[in-house]
Amino acid sequence: MIIHKNSRRSSLLLLSGATLMLAAATPGAAAGVPGTSLSPAGHRFSAVAAGPVVFEAGPIVVTCATSSSLPGTGSRNTIPDGPAAANPAGPVAVRIAPPTFKDCTTDAPGLRVAVETNEAAGPWQVQLQYGTPGTARLSIPSGGFVLRTSGLLACTATAAPNGPATAEGRWRQEGGPAVLLERAPIPVKLEGSFFCATSVTSATITAEYTVRNTTDPARPITVGPSLPG
């Protein structure tokens, strides 16, 4: 059984990102990479998909109508206070709540889809780098994303099966802060019935996540240059 790709859905170039506990600044940045700072300090934020999120794994194309990462307990989705909000040598890593994905479908009739996320093996993070354009790298813990199909075809796709993995994206400041993923590749493991494409080892994700300050909506979340100390 082959599930044909829907060209309209496949052309949607949206995500990502981004759900955000700030980890330590990433050491060892390459020479010439500008520093990064995040603001406003201590403010919390949400990351909500501005449109559908599209996953492609071999012949399987899955579209999720809604996705979000929202502030909860602890420091997830929070811009930290103090030095942790800046890295003079490169990107800043921010911990986020695992995003949820709802109302997911495929182009194949009679096929149901469910997506589960977790942080059992480690945190979800976004590494934000100031620049023109800025970059946003979405880090997924090992086994932190599992997509299952049922009905006519029972398959399981597990992202980052052998360790944490990163999807490369970019940060947009102008026009509203957002994390953008455009067919960003990530390793996967496919398992299931005979017709599952178990030889596929990579999938892509396409999405646009609007990032909003939930502490003070009038002040946008900003990724800027790291100022001299």
Res 32: pLDDT? 64
Residues 188, 159 contacting (CB under 8 angstroms): yes
Q: Indicate the SS3 state at residue 33.
A: coil
How much is the average pLDDT of 112-123? 96
- What's this model's pTM, rounded to 2 decimal places? 0.84
Residue listed under structure tokens 């909500």: 48
CA neighbor of 156 nearest in space, from 165, 147, 145, 143: 147
Q: Check residue 186 and give its pLDDT.
A: 97
Q: What is the pLDDT of residues 50-108, one digit of tens each?
A: 999 999 988 889 999 999 999 988 899 999 888 889 999 999 989 999 999 999 999 87
DSSP structural state of residue 227:
P
pLDDT band (50, 70, 90) for residue 140: very high
pLDDT mean across residues, the chain = 86
Provide φ and ψ at 10, rounded to 5°: -65, -25
| Residue 8 dihedral angles phi and psi, to the nearest 5° | -65, -45
Per the CB < 8 A criterion, the answer to whether 189 and 201 are in contact is yes
**What is the H or E stretch that residue 158 is in?**
strand 155-159
